[in-house]
Amino acid sequence: MDESTDGRGLTRWAWVEIDSSAIAYNLRKARNMAGRGGQVMAVVKADAYGHGAEQVSRIALKAGADRLAVAMVAEGVKLRSVGIAAPILCLAEPPITSIPLLVDNRITPTVDTVDFAIALGEAADARGQVAPYHLAINTGMNRIGVMPVDAVPFLRAIDFHRGIQLEGVFTHFATADCPEEWDFRIQLRRFNETIDAIRAAGFNPGIVHAASSPATIRYPEARFDMVRYGISMYGLHSSDVTRSLIELRPAMSVKARVSFVKTPATGEGVSYGMHYRTPGGIQIATLPLGYGDGMARALSGRCHVLINGMRCNQVGNVCMDQMMVEIPGNSPLHPHGPVEIGDEAVIIGRQGDGEIMLDEHADLLGTVTHEVAIHFGQRLQRFYV
Ligand SMILES: *Cc1c(COP(=O)(O)O)cnc(C)c1O
């Protein structure tokens, strides 16, 4: 859900704030890295990693992105339906049955099977068009793409078709954000050899691209003609290896207001299962967001929330729509209590001198920031600030 006007907390005391200037700032860094003549593809799949695909696309294009990338045809169609005209690449070959929708909406597919390429050519030709496509090369991730040795035979098999036009050739690195560089080097070498072979066979590979965020930041030699910029545009790191190499501004904050407060007697349990028992004399504040909003239940009793400048322990099981927080006693150490209904809580973001980053949740959950951001972006209302 998106809201452009400012109505934070009007109907629900939990929401997401997206800092538009942070996205523009991060994107401009990619622009600089891509260099003169190099293109930037803003990756807005999965509703722009939970940040809102339409809004992020507009911000990124304004800040200098040349193209957009999605994971599914429907994501591209949605962007077209709100009037976004920039080139859109679908990052994997979709089902053959989606071709009419794809062609009608000028969404450029990734191709790695001959059947798809021919069907695309037929559909485009029937409309009097020539459909651009990008060829994916499998240099080692073993997810999608033709094998390096098959690239030239593949092009020879389909290039006769007047309904299709090779617009780009790309690969994807499996270990761009891993400390060890060995596998990255092997993939890069295989990719360079494949591009050389394509050129030697007389084909123009068009836009050559390989680098997602971490490869863009770490390896200038992997930037080629275009970089595919996802996680870093949102101001997040996919692992620690890029942290010291670039300064980014996280765009997403998650906020709430205290919806209820009580001070249960010593030994009283809190939430489903009563795994937490209060020592007494401590305020327990309720926040109206839960695992239905992306606050992973696996974080129960393990994470923190900022309220009135205090770092508070989340206690008891996270519920679907609510969770509870322990308010430190009003002592010289914590002079900010007690809290009241309506006080602002920061689940992700800054409050006073305190900051809780998405990385903190990702580390506790043993996952990447991408996944955490996507979940917060689903049910909570988003406000662009
Ligand atoms: C998701 C994706 C990207 C973006 O990766 P980030 O690490 O978020 O920058 C780039 N390329 C491909 C093929 C992808 O699937």
Determine the atom of ligand 1 nearest the C-alpha atom of 41.
10
Ligand 1 contact via 237 beta carbon (within 6 Å): no
Instruction: Take residue 384 and report the two structure tokens written for it.
Output: 């662009």
Give the per-residue pLDDT at 6.
67
Is 255 labeled as catalytic in the residue annotation? no
Which residues, at least 6 apart from 268, have a Cβ–Cβ distance to it below 8 Å? 277, 278, 280
Residue among 295, 219, 212 nearest 255 (CA):
295
> Which DSSP category does 146 fall into?
B
| pTM attached to this predicted model | 0.95
Determine the atom of ligand 1 nearest the C-alpha atom of 43.
4
Give the per-residue pLDDT at 9.
85
Q: 177 near 241, Cβ under 8 Å?
A: yes
Which residues, at least 6 apart from 220, have a Cβ–Cβ distance to it below 8 Å? 33
Ligand 1 contact via 91 beta carbon (within 6 Å): yes
> Which DSSP category does 359 fall into?
H
- Burial level of 164, CB count in 10 A (0-12/13-18/19+)? buried
pLDDT tens for the chain, 385 residues: list them: 455 456 788 899 999 999 999 999 999 999 999 999 999 999 999 999 999 999 999 999 999 999 999 999 999 999 999 999 999 999 999 999 999 999 999 999 999 999 999 999 999 999 999 999 999 999 999 999 999 999 999 999 998 999 999 999 999 999 999 999 999 999 999 999 999 999 999 999 999 999 999 999 999 999 999 999 999 999 999 889 999 999 999 999 999 999 999 999 999 999 999 999 999 989 999 999 999 999 999 999 999 999 999 999 999 999 999 999 999 875 555 556 689 999 999 999 999 999 999 999 999 999 999 999 999 999 999 999 9
Q: 163 near 121, Cβ under 8 Å?
A: yes
Give the per-residue pLDDT at 107.
98
Q: Which of helix, strand or coil describes residue 83? A: coil
Residue among 5, 15, 12 nearest 254 (CA):
15
Q: 2 near 382, Cβ under 8 Å?
A: yes
Give the per-residue pLDDT at 5.
52
Is 272 labeled as catalytic in the residue annotation? yes
Q: 212 near 176, Cβ under 8 Å?
A: yes
Helices (H), 53-150: 53-62, 73-81, 99-104, 114-126
Residue nearest to atom 4 of ligand 1 (CA): 230
Q: Cα dihedral sign for 117, 120, 126, 127?
A: negative
CA distances from 136 to 125, 149, 210, 337, 379 (A): 22, 13, 10, 57, 34
Ligand 1 contact via 238 beta carbon (within 6 Å): yes
The DSSP string of 153-189 is: HHHHHHTT-TTEEEEEEE---SSTTSS--HHHHHHHH
Ligand 1 center from residue 177 Cα (angstroms): 12
- Write down all domains in the chain, each with its CATH number in brackets: 20-238 (3.20.20.10), 252-384 (2.40.37.10)
Ligand 1 contact via 372 beta carbon (within 6 Å): no
Ligand 1 center from residue 43 Cα (angstroms): 7
